[in-house]
Amino acid sequence: MWRLTLNKIDKRCEELDILFDYLERNRLFSGVVLLSEDGKAFYKRAVGKLSTKRNSHNAIFEIASVSKSFTAMAVMMLIEDKKMTLEDEITTFFPSLPYAGITIKNLLNHTSGLPDYMEWFEEEENWDHNKIATNRDIIHFLVEQKPKLLFEVNEKWEYCNTGYVLLAEIIQLVSNIPYEDYLYKNIFTPLNMKNTSTHSQFLDSKLEKYVTGFIYDWEKDVYFLPNELEEHKYVYFFDGVKGDGGIKSTVDDLLIWEQSIYNNQLISNEAIESMLKPALVNGETTDYCPGLHRDYGAYGFGWKLENHPEYKGMVLHDGYWAGYSSVLISYKDYNKSLIMLNNLDFMNEKLKKVPHNLALALESVLFNKEVDLEEFKLLTK
């Protein structure tokens, strides 16, 4: 456990200790959390196991869709370098794609209408599940199968992983270096994010400090690896796909990442404002994207956005990958943040609510409220 000793923070740390003592005792959480104020962490706690070892504060987790914020940043950096624009159509980069009118901006804010590639690849008649897919396989699928748009461009909002795979490939085409190398050279290294990578669990060599994700049968107290269960074998055959997910990181590196956005360390303030501007859907800027609080969500470029009546402007993203869940929430008007990386997934559908309930509980404590354990107790009854 790690915490500062400032008087006003001590009470919050005590509340957080109560919460995590309960979760650990009842086998409801395994992972690492960090809460910060004014850009500095005041509470970190590691709970649970890293394979046969206990989790540590510098353990590396799969962050899943939180990766989209990095892809979006890389795009904005190339735009500021005048290598591309938000209004460039994707057919400029992929002439064989039958999707005239879809722009870079549409891919960034999920208004393209493209279908999600995952649904097609999860059907065994479409893809050999013993073979690991890559971004090029996704492009080939779009070119060869020409799936129809779900809706006309800009007509509505629908979360789409396909768009971010395309963005990763466009980054590579425009920069003339692989997507992974672009992130290392232009984001991870300049920010000194030493434990962040695009490492592939099954394609690359073993990553030191990488946390194993588990699917847990809570009632029987039995752990499974995701790829041991039929419904989660996608963790293997999607292991080579990048852009929509695939980044691994730690809570400390993600705090650096969160702060870099407000310090304009990589792009201008004008570009940041563009990233954090909600997409318009039917003339509205909110309530179409599920966020932490169900009724306030919108989407910018690689970030979910909320305008909460109490917590004001929130910039966040969550991620799920079988065996893992993650969330990074920045309360930009208060310079507070919370980061949660989790390597315990549940077979019981009711217990899958634990990460969301935990994020809400962490938020409450961050804003000087007491822990309410009742929501967690109800999940175990």
Q: Can you say whether residue 176 is alpha, beta or left, with left for phi > 0 and alpha for psi between -120 and 50 degrees?
A: left
Residues 6+ apart with CB under 8 A from 361: 19, 371, 372, 375
3-state secondary structure of 52: coil
Report which DSSP code applies to 232: G
> What are the C-alpha distances in Å from 134 to residues 52, 139, 152?
31, 9, 27
Residue 61 burial by Cβ neighbours in a 10 Å radius (0-12, 13-18, 19+): buried
Catalytic residue among 36, 65, 69, 249: 65
**C-beta of residue 36 within 8 angstroms of C-beta of residue 332:** no
Q: Considering only CA atoms, which of 129, 161, 326, 133 is closest in space to residue 227?
A: 129
CB count within 10 Å of CB 302 equals 24
Residue 65 is among the residues annotated as catalytic for this protein: yes
Q: Which amino acid, one-letter code, is at 315?
A: V
| Angle of CA points 349, 354, 355, to nearest 5° | 115
Task: Give the integer Cα–Cα distance in Å for 337 and 335.
Answer: 7
Residue owning tokens 């980044």: 247
| Angle of CA points 330, 336, 339, to nearest 5° | 55
Task: Give the integer Cα–Cα distance in Å for 341 and 324.
Answer: 8
Active site residues: 65
